[in-house]
Amino acid sequence: MGDVIIEQDVAVGDSGLFVDVVRPAKTDGPSPSLAFFPGGSWRTKNRKDMKDRYCIKMAERGVVCIGGEYRVMTEAAWPAPLHDVKTITKWMRSSADLLGLDPNRISVGGSSAGGHLALLAAATPDSRDLEPPYFEDVSSAVSAVVGVYPVVDLIPTAEKNDLSELFPDGVTEVALLDASPISYANPKFPPTLLVHGTGDVRVDYRRTVRMYDALEAAGVPVDLQLFSGQDHVFDREDMYSVPIADAMALFIKRYAPAAVEAAAD
């Protein structure tokens, strides 16, 4: 494991967003990168947890890692959180030289609600209706995506949680389907790594399995790792976050270059 460089509270242009940047101290050139977003039921978020849980580990594995944030439902309604995720990936691409990353090897990931946003951002690159008002001439496309116990279907989630602040115009089936990553499972979806604990009482792991099945049926490169009996946020322990970081680094190494080459064909 090598040394890393940590920069905290870095401003994302004039968007009002801030991130933590963790980079490998020594590289042979521009590195692959991962923007990782925390969970919190779209009500709270703490990117500082992501720095210790994943960003340092990923930088030790040769990946520039951005601990990201987004506006929660008490701050702004949908699709503001998705806009913020895309704003950060666009900023990464526009600041590639400064950050020491390869603009063609940007991946996005997150846990729980952050996983939901990461998967949806990956599924809707350069979408006219879902792009943020920042870095307008920069693509929001990513090479790969990681969801750690992600929310992939908002319909069952809305049955257990009040999402009226997130969708003030109405928590309708149409709105929930439009904001559900599983609705976008098609051959254009980027390579995807999914991780879940089978004892999760907040987000049923079987929905993640269905997302895996849908992506595999669409011909998308997709890996699924299940941790038997583990509940939500089981990765706060190093005994789990370390192998997950290994899996993420390997997945990015396997698929980010291939995804870029395929996109260029």
The mean pLDDT value for 223-242 works out to: 97
pLDDT tens digit string along 127-147?
A: 988 999 999 999 999 999 999
Query: N- to C-terminal Cα distance for the chain?
Result: 35
3-state secondary structure of 166: coil
* Domain regions of the chain by residue span: 4-264
Which pairing describes strands 222-227 and 18-24: parallel, antiparallel, or unpaired? unpaired
**How far is Cα 245 from Cα 56, in angstroms, rounded to an integer?**
10
User: Rounded to an integer, what distance in angstroms lies between the CA atom of residue 209 and that of residue 215?
Assistant: 10
Residue 265 has pLDDT above 50, yes or no: no
Taking Cα atoms as reference points, which of 197, 191, 202 lies closest to residue 42? 202
Query: CA-CA distance, 190 to 197, in Å (whole number)?
Result: 23
The predicted model scores a pTM of 0.95
Residue 83 pLDDT > 50, yes or no? yes
Question: Mean pLDDT of all residues in the chain?
Answer: 94
Q: What is the DSSP string of 124-163?
A: STT-TTT--SSSTTS----SEEEEES----HHHHHHHS--
The tokens for 164 are 């009226």
Q: What per-residue confidence (pLDDT) applies to 259?
A: 38
Domain 4-264 is found in CATH 3.40.50.2300: no
β-strand partners of 35: 66, 108
Q: What's residue 2's pLDDT?
A: 63
Residue entry with tokens 């190494």: 253
